[in-house]
Structure formats: structure tokens, C-alpha cells
Amino acid sequence: GDSVTQMEGPVTLSEEAFLTINCTYTATGYPSLFWYVQYPGEGLQLLLKATKADDKGSNKGFEATYRKETTSFHLEKGSVQVSDSAVYFCSMNSGYSTLTFGKGTMLLVSP
Amino acid sequence: EAGVVQSPRYKIIEKKQPVAFWCNPISGHNTLYWYRQNLGQGPELLIRYENEEAVDDSQLPKDRFSAERLKGVDSTLKIQPAELGDSAVYLCASSGQGTTEAFFGQGTRLTVV
């Protein structure tokens, strides 16, 4: 069945460091891919999305490229800030209108 | 534009008691979801509505959980009776027709003691 696997956290970085959070998926067909972010005590906010192969989603300095050949959608940011500390969820929608989520990766950024 | 609104934000109940959660989706969104998020995990779908019809409730524990979406707008999720294992964050989300992303409310954190 459909599934999303993302790297376990926490990921601990210093401010201005480079961030990569790995995400791979298993799906029938060609899903849309998303990254959501969850700040403490809050719901999930859509960070970025990509709907077809080779698309690059970007928002607030974060980027992720839809790689069909490796079934991956890794999240990157060139220079993280303390305010980026949150839990990041990779997810997909394989066309049945239901999002499938990974387990989440906590990011902790220190000054 | 207002986002997805959920209430209450927090709820503490004793086991075996009933509890209900309410959700008002983004105006015009036909699809409404209820997800459950256990501590340290990603959200898992409980039920999905297209307008007032429940089109995917395969993961809803029907012996104790029920949901309704009267008139295809706001929705209520109920648990009766609650068990200790129901402690979690219950998230409501909605999406517009022809779109693949969902927009989430802030969630209701349920603690069963």
C-alpha cells in the first residue's frame, strides 16, 4: 500500500546551517507530494508541494524536488533559523483524495 | 479568508465518558477530513467526507466513534465511550474541489484519564 518514510529525528542544527530532511514514498501511480510543518501546539501548515515529476516546490527558503526515479522528495534549506524549529511531515496524495503522512521529523535549531 | 476552525482546543475527560469535537471547514471546501495524531506520529485518517457523504470511513472505529456532516458544511466527531488509548490530537482538514492539498485546523487535544 501507499506509504511515506522520512528520516527520524530530532535533527539538531546551529543557526545558518544547511538542512536536509530525507523523504521517500511508495505509491501506485504518480502522487502529489507535500511538506507540512507543525509548530508546538499548532495544527499542520502546508509548507510546499509538487504535483509531478521534476517539479520543485519552494516556500520561505525551503525547497523540495519531486524525484520519480528515486521516489524521493527531500526537504532542504540553505540557512536555518531558530524560528524554523518545528516538526516537519512529508506526505502524499495518490489520487484518492486522502493524504498519507510520514511519522514526522523534529528540527531543533540553536542560536 | 478564515481557515479551518475546530473546538474545543483542549479536552480532558474520564474514561467511559462521551466527548464531541466540532469542525468548520474553509468556506466552499467540499472535502472534509478527520485525522487522529498520536504523540510522536503523523496524522492518520479516520474519515473523509465529500459534501455530506462519508466516502472513506474504513479506519474509523465504529464501535465507539461516530461522525456526521449535516448539510455538507461543518462536522462533528464523537467518541462514546472514551478509552485511555483515545488520548491524541484530533485534526480536522478540508480541501477544495480539484485540489490535492488539505488545510488543517489547530486540532483538539484530548486527554482521557
A101: chain B residues, CB-CB within 8 Å: 42-44
Tell me which residues of chain A have a C-beta less than 8 Å from any C-beta of chain B.
Answer: 4, 32, 34, 36, 41-46, 49, 51, 89, 91, 93, 96-99, 101-104
pLDDT tens-digit series, residues B10-65: 999 999 999 999 999 999 999 999 999 999 899 999 999 999 999 999 899 999 99
Smallest CA-to-CA distance from A96 within B27, B63, B58 is with B58
DSSP for chain A, written as a single string = --EEEE--S-EEEETT--EEE-EEEE-SS--EEEEEEE-TT--EEEEEEE-STT-EEEETTEEEE-BTTTTB--EEESS--GGG-EEEEEEEE-SSS-EEE---EEEEEE-
Residue B1 pLDDT > 80: no
Say yes or no for a CB contact (<8 Å) between B42 and A89. yes
pLDDT tens-digit series, residues A5-39: 999 889 999 999 999 999 999 988 889 999 999 99
* Mean pLDDT value of segment A45-63: 96
- For chains A and B, CB pairs below 8 A equal 56
In whole angstroms, give the CA distance from residue A39 to residue A19: 17
Residue A96 pLDDT > 80: no
Burial class (CB in 10 A: 0-12, 13-18, 19+), A30: middle
